[in-house]
Amino acid sequence: MKLLILGAGGMLGRDLTATAERAGHSVTALARAELDVTAAPAVGEAVRAAGPDWVANCAAYTRVDDAESELEEAMRLNGQAAGVVAQAAEAAGATVLYPSTDYVFDGSKLDGYLESDPVGPLSAYGRSKLEGERASAGHLVVRTSWLFGIGGRNFVETMLGLAERRDELKVVDDQVGAPTFTAHLAGGLVELMEADARGVRHLTAAGSCSWREFAEAIFERSGASVRVEGTTTEEFGAPAPRPRHSVLGSEHPDTPVLPHWTEGLDAYLAARVPA
């Protein structure tokens, strides 16, 4: 399988590149500095030059709170650029992998969202990713959640950084999801591409927790002595609204099963290089 990875410098892009190469696939990896995914001529040329079977569009605007005031930029990178990539891939006979998010849902369903459930994003970020899904229709859209990986800004590093300065923290405990290690996610994505999957798939770590429970597990496993107190979404006051319950399940029996989120956390802590 020949794979072109766009946004290869990010957490998921790096892990997907490494995982695909280990699996013996031919990979062309382009970071943001090497290709502007909003520039149709450049994207078209990059796809033609790589001659891939799959184009993994890992290039994305991921600053959830900033998107509330930068909607145009979020839509440009997550929505319009997805259309540019899809058109280039189709012209070259390739299929797109578009990673998406649990934030396309409103969080009101308590027993887990399936691929066929209606969407209803609460935030600008969620709306921008939904536009990307629509632009990638006919290809492979994979919704995942609460990503953390080596070398990128993520919740684990934020908590570990705070633990160096604080011995007590308040963390939101009324949002529930599945923290997903990007190295584990990358393995599942490669499996789906190898199986020539199409449509929408949900792929997250097994299990679920609140942000508070995630923080407590981070401190326990890292040996940090921090007392965690719960707080509400309203008290925390983040600019972007978030789904309260965004656990994802799959109605497709051939969807890969990823390790439990605690296994992902253990693997992350074992692999990370402390700042």
pLDDT attached to residue 275: 56
Confidence check: pLDDT of 97 > 80: yes
Q: Is residue 54 part of a domain?
A: yes
Question: Beta 199-202 vs 140-144: how paired, if at all?
Answer: parallel
pLDDT attached to residue 53: 98
Asked whether 239 and 68 are in contact (CB, 8 A), the reply is yes
Confidence check: pLDDT of 98 > 80: yes
Crossing angle for the helix pair 11-22 and 182-194, to the nearest 10 degrees: 50
Crossing angle for the helix pair 211-222 and 261-271, to the nearest 10 degrees: 40
Q: Is residue 252 very low, low, confident or very high in pLDDT (cuts 50, 70, 90)?
A: very high
Confidence check: pLDDT of 148 > 90: yes
Q: Is residue 213 part of a domain?
A: no
Instruction: Rank 106-110, 157-161, 200-204 by mean pLDDT and report only the highest.
Output: 200-204
Structural domain boundaries enclosing 89? 2-154+179-207+248-259
Taking the C-alpha atoms of residue 246 and residue 102, their distance in angstroms, rounded to an integer, is 6
Q: Which long-range contacts (CB under 8 A, 24 or more apart) does 235-240 make?
A: 235/170, 236/170, 236/172, 238/65, 239/65, 239/66, 239/68, 239/69, 240/64, 240/65, 240/67, 240/68, 240/122, 240/123, 240/124, 240/125
Give the pLDDT confidence of 40-52 residue by residue, as tens digits.
999 999 999 999 9
Give the pLDDT confidence of 23-81 residue by residue, as tens digits.
999 999 999 899 999 999 999 999 999 999 999 999 998 999 999 999 999 999 999 99
pLDDT attached to residue 57: 97
Q: Just list the catalytic residues.
A: 125
pLDDT attached to residue 162: 93
Beta pairing partners, 227 = 168
Question: Percent of the chain scored above 90 by pLDDT?
Answer: 93
Q: Is residue 230 part of a domain?
A: no
pLDDT attached to residue 151: 80
Run of H or E residues at 200: strand 199-202
Q: Is residue 212 part of a domain?
A: no
pLDDT attached to residue 203: 98
* Prediction pTM value: 0.94
Q: For the chain, what is the mean pLDDT?
A: 95
Q: Is residue 160 part of a domain?
A: no
Give the pLDDT confidence of 81-96 residue by residue, as tens digits.
999 999 999 999 999 9
Asked whether 79 and 135 are in contact (CB, 8 A), the reply is yes
Residue 24 has phi, psi (to 5 degrees) of 90, 10
Nearest to 34 by CA among 12, 13, 64: 13
Nearest to 157 by CA among 228, 103, 222: 222
Q: Looking at residue 109, which CATH number applies to its domain?
A: 3.40.50.720
Q: What is the total count of domains within the chain?
A: 1
pLDDT attached to residue 91: 96
Confidence check: pLDDT of 274 > 70: no
Q: Is residue 139 part of a domain?
A: yes
pLDDT attached to residue 152: 82
Q: Is residue 26 part of a domain?
A: yes
Q: Is residue 231 part of a domain?
A: no
Taking the C-alpha atoms of residue 203 and residue 198, their distance in angstroms, rounded to an integer, is 14
